[in-house]
Amino acid sequence: MFYMEDAEIVLMFSLLAIPVAIWLQLWVKNRRQNRRNHLGEEEFENTGRAFFSIIIEGTAIIGGLIMIIVASGGVIKYVINFYT
């Protein structure tokens, strides 16, 4: 059973996670834009850098989306508990 203090802590962490998740998405977008050449294609120095970027950016995107989903669930749960 949730107590109001626990629900407020969950809400606080949920509200803090949303800006972090948005920052991760913007970070990935900026990294991709910085790699574009004058024709609009992404350029990598070598295959290792390309693989590393795919792994890091993919993890950031998936992690950010998971954070948004979990944080939204925390906010919704708080609202439901508060108004019932």
Question: String of b and e for 39-66 (b: at least 16 CB within 10 Å)?
Answer: eeeeeeeeeeeeeebeeebeebeeebee
- Residue-by-residue pLDDT tens, the chain, 84 positions: 455 567 788 889 999 999 999 999 999 999 999 888 888 888 888 999 999 999 999 999 999 999 999 999 989 988 888 887
Q: Where are the domains of the chain?
A: 4-82
User: So what's the pLDDT on residue 28?
Assistant: 95
